[in-house]
Amino acid sequence: MTEGLVVWVMLAPLLGAVTALLGKLLRPLQRPLSILGTASLAVPAVILTLLLGPVMSGESLRYALGGWPEPYGISLVLDGISWFSCAITTVIAAAVALFSLGRRRYEAGYFFFLLIMVAGMYGVALTGDLFTLFVSFEVVAVTVYVLIAWEETDTGLAASYKYLILSTVGILFFLFGIFLVYRDLGVLSISLISRALAEAGGVRNTRFMHLALAFLCGGIGVRTAFIPFHTWLPEAHAYAPHPISAMLSGAMIKVSFFALVRVVLEFGGTYLFELLMWIGAVTALAAVLSALAQSDVKRLLAYHSISQLGYVLAVFGAGSALALTASFSHALNHALFKSLLFLTVGAAVSFTGHRNIHRIPPLGRTMPLFSAAFFAGALSISGIPPFNGFASKGLITTGMEGSAAYPLLWVTSFLTIASFIKLSRIFLPGPRRAGTTPSSGNSNQGSVPGILQTSVVTVLAILCLGTGMFGGSMAHGLYRIIHGTAPDAIPRLFSAKKLLGVLPAVLLGTAAFVGVSTQWGRQIAGRIRRMAPELRTVLLFFFVGLLVFAVVAY
């Protein structure tokens, strides 16, 4: 009976998508049906809450679709990793859907594709075999293509096309990895693959399995967007509709990362840990340098999505149980504060009609609640106590203690602060703009966001604060979800040493901001902005990444 609930996590948004699509036929009922479709997200929320107890006890719930057991049928698996992945998807999808309902420009078709994307993400999290993982990734990809280009702008269409090309190349290599696995092992069930590889003495003791793992990691790496598979993300996140930017950054790349974690752990790919740690650290630093150079506010946030994912990947590569908890903790916190930042900054872009940070006037007096919510997100991503970024970065510091890669993350931390000092000018107090009145349904430029949108960003801001203040308890619970047992100890997150450690980062971040603001700094920033790679260079990055994953086994 309990296992039977798992399938409804996927089915509910599918039924919600069909309900929303009926609005295309029943035009007078389009909005009520969109609301009803969005309400389907309550079903996964309730089910995940009910199944939290068994998951924290270390149980792995399996459901065989159609009654066909592995290896003949499709099995859904709900364990700690998949539960956490589904939980993040549910929270961010609900926030994005409610925010979208606050703007009447998003019609039934939009909610149809949004809910299909959510169902696909649940599929990525829950599937127990590689082929269904491939199908779920493709369901997500098709909907993302459409949603990035939803507003039919030239930049959005170009970003969608770029994502189409790169994700297609990535998934082809993923599919080739599946071929190698099935050819040599004869199964696609992830648990049976893990058992077969363990009996063979590990991935590196088989002839082609390290190559298969390299192809799988490369294919998933495109969706996760770490260097060198990251080049599609800045355009996609920057030029998608604002709620979709929040969904892509807050949930989609996290779900892909959790799939990567599952594949690496189940295949016994521990030899990849050091590589992943260095890739993560380099990703964090390189992306924050690009972010600091941006003048387009959404591109700045997009590069920070890559940078913060670098933190998540780097500490995962540290390999310990605490490091995995720190990785997942920062993934959760990033989902909350980056969704909040995309929604608040996106509202500023919609309100003013400008994307250039120097052309958006200060909006602190015109949009006071959105401004307060933005600063909650900015303080969170900057690692300032008592917000959640400080808590998870404290865990990362402990999890990577002694690592040669950690100094790269420390430099990233104060450059992140510099970026958000730069971005915060758009929400500083300024003259109130005349002729603007709140309206929850008016999507015209110059209208202040309404009650529903304001409520969404307020809740996200409160979550950023709450998950920071209770970061120790959150880390304890997360450890139990992932590992099925209670931790021996969780390090103190608000010790005097860690609190005082923020001060040098703030001072260096301020100095970096001043440096970027000089004429010399602006010239360097301009050169960085013009360094966008051509498509052939992007594909070269991709093949280099695959080669590195393949040869590291030796």
Reported as a single tens digit per residue, the pLDDT across 427-437 is 998 776 554 44
In sequence order, what are the residues at sequence separation of 6 or more whose Cβ sits closer than 8 angstroms to the Cβ of residue 133? 123, 124, 127, 190, 259
Query: Both tokens of residue 311?
Result: 């933190």
Query: Is 307 a residue whose pLDDT tops 90?
Result: yes
Q: State the pLDDT at residue 438.
A: 40
62: which DSSP letter? E
Interatomic CA distance for residues 490 and 507, integer angstroms = 29
The whole-number average pLDDT for the span 329-358 is: 94
Q: Tell me phi and psi for residue 189, to 5 degrees.
A: -60, 125
- Is 413 inside a domain boundary? yes
Determine the structural domain holding residue 368 and report its residue range. Answer: 335-433+446-516
Q: What is the pLDDT of residue 535?
A: 67
The model's pTM is 0.93
Q: Taking 70 as the threshold, does the pLDDT of residue 85 lie above it? A: yes
- Tell me the per-residue pLDDT of 234-243, one tens digit each, with 9 for 90 and over: 888 889 999 9
Per-residue tokens: 100: 């979208």
| pLDDT value at residue 1 | 62
Is 297 part of any domain? Answer: no
Q: What is the pLDDT of residue 213?
A: 92
Longest CA–CA span in the chain (Å) reads 72
Single-letter residue type at 404? A
Number of domains into which the chain is organized: 1
* pLDDT band (50, 70, 90) for residue 323: very high
Q: Is the pLDDT of residue 441 over 50?
A: no
Average pLDDT over residues 431-450: 53
pLDDT at 436: 45
pLDDT the model gives residue 547: 87
Question: In this structure, how many other beta carbons lie within 10 angstroms of the beta carbon of residue 356?
Answer: 12
Instruction: Please state the rounded mean pLDDT for residues 445-460.
Output: 86
Q: pLDDT tens, 213-238?
A: 999 999 999 899 888 888 888 888 88
Residue 67 falls inside a structural domain: no
The neighbouring-strand residues paired with 61 are: 78
* pLDDT over 60 at 492, yes or no: yes
Predicted confidence band of residue 322 (pLDDT cuts 50, 70, 90): very high
Mean pLDDT of 475-500: 89
Q: Percent of the chain at pLDDT above 70? A: 96
Of 63-72, 273-282, 397-406, 526-535, the one with minimum mean pLDDT is 526-535
Reported confidence tier of residue 44, pLDDT bands at 50, 70, 90: very high
Q: Does the residue 112 lie in any domain?
A: no
pLDDT at residue 439, as a whole number:
38
Question: Which pLDDT does position 433 carry in this prediction?
Answer: 57
Return the pLDDT at 426: 94
- Judge whether residue 149 has pLDDT over 80: yes
Q: Report whether pLDDT(143) > 90.
A: yes
Distance CA 236, CA 147 (A): 10
Residue 90 has pLDDT above 80, yes or no: yes
SS percent in the chain: helix, strand, coil, step 5: 75, 5, 25
Predicted confidence (pLDDT) per residue in 473-482, tens digit = 999 999 999 9
Q: Which residue has the higher pLDDT, 73 or 372?
A: 372
**What's the rounded mean pLDDT across residues 294-308?**
94
**How far apart are alpha carbons 71 and 192 in whole angstroms?**
8
From the list 330, 336, 332, the residue with the least C-alpha distance to 318 is 330
Is residue 453 in some structural domain? yes
Overall average pLDDT of the 145-170 stretch:
90
Percentage of the residues of the chain whose pLDDT score is greater than 90: 68
What is the C-alpha to C-alpha distance for residues 154 and 239, in angstroms, rounded to an integer? 9
User: ω into residue 449 within 30 of 0, thus cis?
Assistant: no
* DSSP symbols for 305-320: HHHHHHHHHHHHTT-S
15, amino acid identity: L
How high does pLDDT run on average in the chain?
90
Asked whether the CA dihedral 185, 187, 189, 195 is positive or negative, the reply is negative
Residue 294 CB neighbour total at 10 angstroms: 24
Overall residue count recorded for the chain in this entry: 554
415: in domain? yes
Is 97 a domain residue? no
Tokens of 543: 């093949």
Q: Distance between CA 299 and CA 544 in Å, rounded?
A: 25
Identify the pLDDT of residue 296.
93
More confident residue, 87 or 206: 87
Query: What's the mean pLDDT in 275-292?
Result: 95
Choice between 541 and 397, residue whose per-residue pLDDT is larger: 397
Q: Are 509 and 382 in contact (CB under 8 A)?
A: yes
**What is the predicted pLDDT for the residue at 550?**
85
Over residues 36-56, mean pLDDT: 95
Spatial distance between the Cα atoms of 106 and 98, rounded to a whole number of angstroms = 11
The answer to whether 277 touches 403, Cβ cutoff 8 Å, is yes
Residues 284, 292 contacting (CB under 8 angstroms): no
